[in-house]
């Protein structure tokens, strides 16, 4: 099953896992943190691209 998380949800999960990792250093959550950070980076890049395209279209419509 695949979960679709928002940028805010991903950031929250990463922070919670990092806090847990600091509390229990024997727990190996590095791989999970890396995967979540990669997904977050991907989502932020998609959002930024969409905003850029939207702003371009708006500028063209105004001109």
pLDDT per residue as tens digits for the range 24-49: 665 567 788 888 899 999 999 999 99
Residue 17: the pLDDT is: 86
Residue 26: the pLDDT is: 58
CB count in 10 Å sphere of residue 20: 11
Residue 31: CB partners within 8 Å, gap ≥ 6? none
Asked if residue 60 has pLDDT above 80, the reply is: yes
User: What is this structure's pTM?
Assistant: 0.70
Asked if residue 52 has pLDDT above 70, the reply is: yes
Query: Torsion angle, CA of 30/36/41/46, rounded to 10 degrees?
Result: 160
């Amino acid at each position: 099953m695949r979960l679709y998380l928002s940028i805010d949800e991903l950031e929250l999960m990463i922070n919670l896992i990092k806090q847990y990792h600091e509390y229990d250093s024997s727990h190996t959550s590095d791989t999970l943190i890396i995967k979540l950070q990669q997904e977050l980076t991907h989502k932020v890049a998609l959002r930024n691209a969409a905003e850029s395209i939207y702003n371009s279209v708006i500028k063209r419509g105004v001109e």
